[in-house]
Every structure is written in C-alpha cells, then in structure tokens.
Amino acid sequence: MRNMLLISRGANVMPLALQLVRQPALFLADTYLKDIPNYPFKDVDTIFLRFPVAVKDEEERKQKDPHESSWMEGALHLPAARSLIFALMTFVEGERLGRVMVNRLKAGGHIFAHADPIEHSGYWDRFHYVVSGQPGVIFRCGGDEVQMHSGELWWFQNALEHEVINNSGVDRIHLIVDIRTQYVQARGHLPQRPLEASP
C-alpha cells in the first residue's frame, strides 16, 4: 500500500464525537462544499473549523495567500478537536496548520472519485482522524483500498484520485487536518544559508 498510511489506532475521539452528536445543527450551518454543482461531496455535510476566508473580488484574491486558513465559528463549538489537531501537529512536526474540517458522509453515501488540486495537495499533507467509522466504509486512493475504523489516524495522498463509499449503515465522520510538514526544495536540497558577514 503506497498511497495511504495508518499512523495510529486508539486516538481519543470520543470527546469530539460527543460534541458532534450533541450539536447536529453544526453540520448544516454552512453547505458551501455540498452546494457546488457537480462536486463530489453532495452526500457530505461539513463543519468548517479552519478554512480560507472568502474573498470579495479577483483583486483581493491575487493579493491573498491562497494557503492561509483562519479559525471559523465551527471551532468554537468543537473545542475537543483542538487537542487532536495540535497533538497531530506535534507528532508530524507540522510547520503550518491549514484547513480543518469535520466531514459527515451519510450511510449509503458516496464521495465520488476526484483528485484534489495539486496547488493544494502539493503544499499540504492531509490527515484523517476517524471519529466514527464502521465496517463497510471503503476508502480508495489510487490502487489502495482500506476500511478506516473509529479512533484511527491516517495519512493519504490526496493528489491522487480517491473516493469513499459508505456501506456501513451509519454516518462516517472524519476530522480532516491539513498540515504543512518539513519543506524541501523541489530539487531535493535545502535553501542556501544567508552569506556570512565579512569580518
């Protein structure tokens, strides 16, 4: 298996799961992703914890760092996510925190095959905490196919085509965290150090 990696099992996702089950309206507060026509996420409800702030116009878009995400209101209602997010940042020695979302794929739902844009997937590493995942959920990435279970933490290569089928009979809920890890020059070497000052 080359495109997906099980990082750990046994993450304590129950505090977050409880906050989610007690606040179901959060999933319907912002249907931005779901409403995009012909987008793969029509069966997915999303809570945005961190996401790029919407821009007013093209001029603002050009000036903005496309990778900059800000904390959203969803994060205020799900404080249990913070310990998972920052534990992961430490574990992978993250240098920058990007998008953080909770995705709920309904039973019988399908995230249709797609590859995330390289501008994004080439910059960030994508991690998934499985808050609720029962047998019958199949996650395919490239030629790899796995079932992810509650409490597991996974990395996968979202630059490749991937899709999810939820045949488990219950919602599949993941905490998705984008983290930029160690930056290496495209040519495979580190940037040169500044020239030392002359004596």
Partner 1 sequence: MITYAVERAVDVMEEIKPLLLQHWQEIALDQDKVPLNPRYDVYLEYEARGELLVVIARDSGKIVAYFTGFVLRGLHYADLVTLRQDIFWIDPNFRDEDSLSTLERGMIAHDLFAKVKDEAIARGVKRAFYAAKIDHDVSGVFEALGMKPVETYWSAWWGE
Q: Among 19, 23, 121, 167, which residue sits at the site for partner 1 (rule: CB under 8 A)?
A: 167
- Run of H or E including 176: strand 172-180
- Which residue matches tokens 């395919």? 140
Q: Is 34 exposed, middle or buried (0-12, 13-18, 19+ CB in 10 A)?
A: middle
Stretch that binds partner 1, among 29-37, 67-75, 92-100, 133-141 (CB under 8 A): 133-141
Distance CA 160, CA 3 (A): 8
**3 near partner 1, rule: CB under 8 A:** no
**Between 6 and 89, CB nearer to partner 1:** 6
Stretch that binds partner 1, among 31-39, 77-85, 95-103, 163-171 (CB under 8 A): 163-171
- Which residue matches tokens 């606040």? 23
Q: What's the min distance (Å) between Cβ of 1 and partner 1?
A: 9
Binding to partner 1 in span 104-123, by CB under 8 A? 107-108
CB-side exposure of 70: number of CA atoms within 13 Å? 8
Q: What's the min distance (Å) between Cβ of 72 and partner 1?
A: 32
Binding to partner 1 in span 140-159, by CB under 8 A? 145, 147, 149
Binding residues for partner 1, rule CB under 8 A, total 14
* Structure tokens that stand for 20 in this block: 């989610």
Amino acid at 72: M
**6 near partner 1, rule: CB under 8 A:** no
